[in-house]
Structure formats: C-alpha cells, structure tokens
A and B are shown apart, each in its own frame.
Chain A
Amino acid sequence: MTRGKVAYELVEHTADTGIVVRSTRLEKVFEFMASAMFDQIVDVDAIRVSDPPELVRVEANDEETLLVAWLGELLSRAMAAGLVYGAFDVAIGPVEGIVGTVAGGLKLIGRVWGEPLDLERHGFKAELKAVTYHHLFVGEQEDGFVARVVFDV
C-alpha cells in the first residue's frame, strides 16, 4: 500500500501538468501516480485515512490506457462525491477469459482510502480537470518501471 506523499517529477508542459513516477514494481507506479495526482489538488499528507477502503476495478487494453482509466476513475469519483484519497493499493492482472485462457486486456483491482474534502485542513492547490492520453507513457527501464501522465489543469 502507498500512503501519503511520494517522490515524483513534474514535467514541463505549457498549459497543463505532466508527472513522472518510477518504481521497481508496476503496481507501485500506479499507486505513486495516484498519490501524485491528489498531491496536485491538496496536500496529500494531510488526508486522514481509515477503513473501510473503497474498491475500484477498471479494465483496459494495455498498461497505458489502464493507468488513465485508474486515475480517471479516482479523480471522477472524488470530484463527484467531494472526497480526496490519500492511500492506494493496486493489483494488476490479465482479464480472465474462459477457464485457462486469457481474454486479452488488463484489469486493475484497487483499494483506496480517503475522506471528505476539507479545504482548510487539506490546503487547496488546484483543480485538475482530467487525466489525458497525451504524451502518455508506461514502460520499463533498466532500473524499473516508469510512467508519465499529463493532466488537464
């Protein structure tokens, strides 16, 4: 599980905000990017988390679109319900087909912990409009996995 603020890099982008995260595990890249996303909106360390978590399940054709689907679901849920999330746990696997086969595509099952947005305590930074597919990248380097996402601000 990833809780609170993580290390991330901001990528120069004229109008929007690009973020790069790295980890030795793909699942961690997904968790770190979620934390970095909420850290653009509020101080993610100020978010108190407690059980029970919410469950998230998304599917996509590849790792990149899976990352956008995961982040998009979190952002959209949070904004619709007036919440912010501060802890994330992700598992990724292939979408099951008929017994013994793989149907193609990937699924992510996540647990997320958060609380209602409290502008005073969480400290407002900026509203993110959306998670884009622009300059999207998920890949593997010598020292682990890396992902880049551009958010519409």
Chain B
Amino acid sequence: MTLVEGEARVAPWELKRCCLSIGADDSEQKTMTIPLEKIDPYRWRIPRRGGMRVDGMIYADDMLIDDIRQDKCLDQVANVAHLPGIVKHSLAMPDIHWGYGFPIGGVAAFDLDDGVVSPGGVGYDINCGVRLLVTSLRREQLVDRVRAFADALFRRIPAGVGGTSSAPKLSRNELMDLMRKGAGWAVQRGVAESRDLDQIEERGCLSSADPSQVSERALERGRKQVGTVGSGNHFIEVQYVEQVYQPEPASRLGLERGVVTVSIHSGSRGLGYQVCDDWLREMLKASARYGIELPDRQLCCAPIGSDEGRRYLGAMAAAANYAFVNRAMMAHHVREALELDLGLAPREHRLRTVYDVCHNIAKIETHEVDGVRRKLCVHRKGATRAFGPGHPSLSPGLRDLGQPVLIPGDMGRYSFVLLGRQGSEEAFGSTCHGAGRRLSRTAAKKSARGRPVVRELADQGITVRAAGMATVLEEIPEAYKDVADVVRAVDGAGLAARLARLRPIAVIKG
C-alpha cells in the first residue's frame, strides 16, 4: 500500500539502536539483585533506595522467598514504591509473581490528597474475582454424576476466546443499568437472590460507578459476554470440602466436611480489558502532564483527585459491577445445571453463595496508619480484601467471623477458604489471592508436552472439560506454587486464618 503522497516509506525518524539480544536469552530479563532484609519469619523488607518513596514489604516464609527471588517481581515491588503518595509500604503477598507493571500479588495504598490511581495497579481484568457456592449435596451423592454435571456446566457457561452468551445481546441501556447496579441488577432480573448480596464484597455494587466513562468499544465487547468464564487461569470448579480447620464458623457458612461446592473464577471479560486499555492511553498522557516519573510505563497514573483520576475510577467501578453480574450469572447457570440437567429440586441441592471476592481492584477505604485513620485508595492487583472480625463493612451475619477469603489453588490439588483477621490491617486489610505461578506458560507447556494431562487428572478423580488444550497445558498443577504454602504464610503473618480446604472433582477451563 502507499502512504499519502510525499511521505517517505522509510521511517524518517531515529530509532534507538539496541545492542542487547532481546530474545529468549535476553540478559535484560535477568533479575536485578534487590536487597532483602528479613524482618521476622513471615516478613521481608526491600529497603528504600533511589527514587523509592517507601520500603517494599513482602509476606513470605524462607521457602517461598527462594522462589520469589528467582522472579523479576521484586523489581516491580520496588518500582511501585516510586509512585507519588504511596503510603507506608509497597506490599506483596506470598503468591507474588512477575506481572506487567505492578507485580501480581501486589498491594499499594495512596493518600487521597497527594496520591495517584493507576489502571496498571488494578489490571486489565477489572474485578477479576472468585465466587464460592455451597450445596447441601454430599460428595457421595454426586459421584456417579460428576461427568454429567461437568458437561452441563461446560454447555451452559461459554468458555474460551470470544466466548459469548447464548442469552440475547444486552441493549445499550440495559448494559448501562447493569453497570450502575451491579449484582442488584441480577436480583432484579430474577437470576440471583437478594440474600446473596450480603455474601458479596461491597454487596456486589461499587456506588461510584460512572458508565458514561466506558467507551463504545468496551460496551460493544461487553454486550454478549455476561455469564461467560473466559480463558487463561479462569475456571469453574466443582469441589468438596476435604478439611475443616474451624468447625463452628465453617458450619455457619455451610462448609461441612464432604459437602459439594462450586467455585467460579472470572472477571469483567472484554469490557473490563477495554476499559483498562482505554485508560492506560489516557494515563500515559496524564503522567506526562502531571510530571510523574515512571520506572515502567505500565505504571502510568494520575492524581486521585484529578479529572483523569476521578473518571478512571468511575469507569473502573462500572467494569467492576459488570464482573459482579458476570459471576452472578454464572452462579445462575450452575443452579440451572443442578436443576435442569441433574434433575435436583432446590430443596435437594440448597445452592447458596458463601462469598464473592474481588482480587483486581482499587477502592477508597479507611485504614489506620500510624495511629491515624485515613482515607486511602487501595490498589489490590492479585490480592484479596481480608477484613477481620468487627469490621463495619462486613454484613451483620459475617461481622463476628471476619470476611471469608477465597483462595484458588491449582486444578490438581486444592483451594482454601480463609477468614480475614484483624492483623490484615497492617496490609490495608489484604491477603493473598491464589497459589501464584512458578513456571512461565511456555515452561509449563514444555513440561506438559506429550503427557496425557487430562488422563493424569482423571486418575486423581478430577474430570476436565476445556475449550482448548493449550490452556490446560499452561495450567498444569506444577505450574503453580503449592497454595498450602502460600496460605500457611498469610496465616503465620496474621493476615487471614484457614477455615476449610476444598478438593476439586471437576474443572471447566476456557
């Protein structure tokens, strides 16, 4: 093709010359040595240096920190500490691993007056999170029908690339209404129960949502994806309660040993990815406009109180509400599968929501810092809110227990339910969000090549249904840290306490 007449085909500008190899053996990829000081058995400090405004702090034990040191994520903890208005520490949870911009497993709180909000500190999948459902069915009652249940879930919940719902495309007005109301929209539509709202972080609705800040492209991407799981590390998992650590609170949440549960891990789908993408471009300009120096462009940001900051937070909250509805809709499909495909009456399965958490989000919350209560913008990217007992944000039924925290593991081992502890206040009410990867996707695929991964899992009693095998290979159990190690570290650090362990029996992957 030709350009407009008169323009040169050869680029007339100077490109930087690069002497480095930037391929797979890239020397630039090697981890820089980040100094680490051990504070106690579960805490490590990256001392402030250079442009860092605060120390970094990592929650991990001796074993986990060895893995963490091999990854570039510590550089990212240090990078986040450069951002204006960061309060106290740039934090990382024991499942930390190398992400883009912020590390995955990172928590950072910013002062409302002189701090920033960064779309990269939330991630593309805004309000990616987990919903845990519990039934009254015992594992033995389902054992002959696990495959049928997995087939039904796979059929009812679209998975994989561009997965679109079988439901009619939402109109623009319906989508705007959905983004304003969050999970309450699903209740109005009769696909969720109002009692579920007490079991969702923020009751499933960020009231600061401003759908007018969501682009037309994002709306288009969102109109057909409500109730779809996606791909990558997202999943629907059928499990049973294998171990209970705190019988009384577990019983109150319906988590008796041997009962069947269903976990849903997904977020705001294409709508959220587009919101993040749109706003990163805006924030790159804003960072330059406000003179914010960035150690990594993916950390681009704007002052929280600026026009850009406020508008991003409105768009982000709208996408977060979309994610709450997405998980509510998938929970509805789980109910349909139990009733319409397995023929179980509501009184036979008694499906209900244990809790629904966000683990990619930025929220304005009040926390005590050095004895003073301050309003902060808390970014959790691959980290979960874990408010302890007595926190006023928890619904009355949960206030004496602490917030349930849902920590998926890998698809071959187990997942955990925790309860937030008051000690989490040190981490702005946060804890880990999962096992954390230890192998890259390419390394995982190499390790799995030629192996009958689905058969291996079937031999362990786990049925797998997947839209594509590539994702299954990338998500093999050994690609992840042992989530039990991660959970032991947050328990040891006083952030959250183990409540129950769930063993998978069927996994639906995108």
Contact = CB atoms under 8 A, between A and B. Distances in A.
A134 B276 CA distance: 14
Contacts of A141: 17-19
Contacts of B280: 133
Contact of B24 (A9, A96, A137): A9
A134 B299 CA distance: 9
Interface residues of A, number: 58
A16 B104 CA distance: 11
Chain A facing B: main interface SS: mixed
Interface in B274-323: 274, 276-277, 280-281, 284, 296-298, 300
Contacts of B298: 132-134
B18 A14 contact: no
A138 B17 CA distance: 9
Given A15-B104, A139-B17, A80 B232 contact: no
Contacts of A126: 161, 231-232, 468, 470-471, 474
B18 A137 contact: yes
Interface in A1-54: 9-17, 20, 26-27, 41-42
Report which residue of B22, B104, B221, B270 has the largest number of chain A beta carbons within 10 angstroms of its beta carbon. Answer: B22
A6 to B, nearest CB: 15
Contact of B510 (A94, A106, A117, A127): A127
B450 interface: no
A11 B100 contact: no
A134 B101 contact: yes
Given A91-B2, A127-B510, A14 B71 contact: yes
Given A9-B23, A72-B277, A80 B220 contact: yes
Contacts of A150: 100
**Number of contact residues on B: which range applies?**
35 or more
Nearest to B19: A141
Given A80-B217, A94-B13, A152 B73 contact: no
Contacts of B24: 9-12, 20
Contacts of A139: 15-18, 22
Interface in A110-153: 111, 117, 119, 123-127, 129-141, 145-146, 148, 150, 152-153
B504 to A, nearest CB: 21
B231 A140 contact: no
Interface in B156-170: 160-164
A103 interface: no
A81 B164 CA distance: 11
Contacts of A41: 161
Interface in A69-93: 69, 72, 76, 79-82, 89, 91-93
A80 B270 contact: yes
A80 B217 CA distance: 7
Interface in B340-397: none
A98 to B, nearest CB: 14
A65 B298 CA distance: 11
Interface stretch (B129-137, B140-148, B440-448): B440-448
B161 A76 contact: no
Contact of B7 (A10, A94, A127, A138): A94
B437 interface: yes
A128 B274 CA distance: 12
B429 interface: no
A10 to B, nearest CB: 5
Interface in B454-480: 467-468, 470-471, 474
B270 A79 contact: yes
Interface in B236-284: 270, 273-274, 276-277, 280-281, 284
A14 B437 contact: yes
Contacts of A135: 100
B82 interface: no
A121 to B, nearest CB: 13
A132 B100 contact: yes
A12 B440 contact: yes
B468 A124 contact: yes
Given A26-B11, A126-B468, A139-B15, A91 B161 contact: no
Contacts of B66: none
A96 B8 CA distance: 12
Contact of B1 (A42, A69, A89): A89
Nearest to A111: B1
A61 B497 CA distance: 49
A129 B280 CA distance: 14
A152 B3 CA distance: 32
B324 interface: no
B277 to A, nearest CB: 5
B8 A93 contact: yes
Interface string B426-445: 00000000000111111100
B4 interface: yes
Contacts of B501: none
Contacts of B296: 133-134
A148 B11 contact: no
A123 to B, nearest CB: 8
A11 B23 contact: yes
Which of B161, B217, B273, B510 has the largest count of A CB atoms less than 10 A from its CB? B161
B189 interface: no
The 5 closest A-B pairs by CB, nearest first: A134-B100, A127-B231, A139-B18, A14-B98, A133-B297
Given A13-B98, A93-B7, A153-B231, 9 more contacts: A14-B438, A15-B440, A81-B220, A91-B9, A93-B3, A96-B4, A124-B161, A134-B298, A135-B100
27 contacts: A9-B23, A11-B24, A11-B26, A12-B440, A12-B443, A14-B98, A14-B437, A15-B441, A20-B24, A65-B284, A72-B277, A76-B277, A79-B221, A80-B270, A91-B2, A124-B468, A126-B232, A127-B160, A127-B163, A129-B125, A130-B276, A134-B297, A139-B15, A139-B17, A140-B17, A150-B100, A152-B124
